[in-house]
């Protein structure tokens, strides 16, 4: 048993989609969420800067005595996931590894598309992780840098987002992929629109759900679950609170934010 909180960090607010999934599977756990909203997005930045920011995020959560660390941000997972695992002494979960394991275990499909930020795609982290687990797959990667700003602007339905979906995903239609990894915390918000565009036969893989399952399994196996049987609390820590904070946060969390949101300085 371990009653300490789970630490989750993200470049901004998109990681709340991961919190949402963790809450579903582990409702009694306390969570400390850190969103680096003063420096969001990470997806356009260089590897060096993303690594630096990720370690600052991780160190801050460790100072808050978390029992483990979930890297919710796909770009941070891609550039810094392995380094964090190597250099930190607590268990670290990223969104990449469980996707590769899921594809190995559950999928017969063999034409896999991956979408993400520029950083995530340029790192080839998903591709490398999948190719370590399964052979004889063809993998096609595509950065979709306009999805994040469109979603944060609330442009999640209608002709504008449909046009942007077509811009980025038409290549997948041409190449007839059978599976698509939604490699950014924001993308589940437009999952239906993506599914509509690609057709029902294409399987969409949602890393947020898989990392929550990965976390649950690990905590169970290692007897690290809380012994509390009360609904867990979430502490929201952010490095900046902008005007649109609550609106955007609640899009990702899927419910109202009822706990206190605290602005912290991590650099």
Say how many C-beta atoms besides its own lie within 10 A of residue 118's C-beta: 15
Residues annotated as catalytic are 73, 184
Nearest-5° Cα angle at 91, 78 to 30:
105
CA 62 – CA 59 distance, rounded (Å): 5
Are the C-beta atoms of residues 179 and 112 closer than 8 Å to each other? yes
* Radius of gyration, alpha carbons of the chain: 18
> Least separation, in Å, of the C-beta of 1 and its own copies?
40
Segments of 77-231 assigned E as strands: 92-94, 111-116, 138-143, 179-183, 203-205
CB nearer to its own copies: give 137 or 241: 241
CB nearer to its own copies: give 48 or 86: 48
Alpha helices in 136-206 (DSSP H): 147-152, 159-174, 191-198
CB nearer to its own copies: give 24 or 167: 167
> Least separation, in Å, of the C-beta of 51 and its own copies?
12
> Least separation, in Å, of the C-beta of 118 and its own copies?
6
CB nearer to its own copies: give 23 or 39: 39
> Least separation, in Å, of the C-beta of 142 and its own copies?
13
DSSP 3-state of 18: helix
Query: Which residues bind to its own copies, rule: CB under 8 A?
Result: 37-40, 44-46, 48-49, 118, 122, 145-146, 148-150, 152-153, 155, 159-160, 163-164, 167, 239-244, 267
Q: How far is CA 9 from the centre of its chain?
A: 9
Are the C-beta atoms of residues 42 and 117 closer than 8 Å to each other? yes
């Amino acid at each position: 048993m371990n009653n300490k909180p789970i630490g989750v960090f993200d470049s901004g607010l998109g990681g709340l989609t991961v919190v949402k999934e963790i809450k579903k599977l582990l409702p009694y756990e306390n969570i400390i969420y850190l969103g680096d909203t003063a420096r969001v997005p990470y997806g356009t930045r260089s590897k060096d800067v993303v690594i630096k920011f990720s370690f600052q995020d991780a160190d801050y959560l460790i100072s808050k005595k978390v029992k483990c660390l979930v890297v919710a941000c796909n770009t941070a997972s891609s550039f810094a996931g392995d380094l964090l695992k190597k250099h930190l002494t607590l268990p670290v979960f990223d969104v990449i590894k469980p996707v590769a394991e899921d594809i190995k275990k559950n999928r017969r499909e063999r034409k896999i598309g991956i979408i993400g930020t520029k950083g995530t795609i340029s790192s080839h982290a998903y591709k490398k992780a999948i190719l370590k687990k399964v052979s004889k797959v063809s993998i096609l990667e595509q950065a979709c840098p306009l999805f994040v700003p469109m979603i944060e602007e609330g442009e999640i339905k209608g002709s504008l987002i449909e046009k942007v979906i077509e811009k980025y995903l038409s290549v997948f239609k041409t190449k007839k992929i059978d599976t698509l990894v939604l490699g950014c915390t924001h993308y589940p918000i437009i999952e239906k629109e993506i599914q509509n565009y690609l057709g029902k036969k294409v399987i969409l893989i949602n890393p947020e759900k898989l990392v929550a399952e990965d976390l649950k399994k690990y905590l169970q196996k290692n007897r690290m679950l809380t012994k509390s049987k009360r609904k867990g609390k979430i502490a929201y820590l952010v490095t900046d609170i902008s005007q649109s904070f609550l609106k955007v946060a609640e899009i990702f969390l899927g419910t109202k934010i009822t706990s206190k949101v605290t602005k912290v300085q991590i650099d």
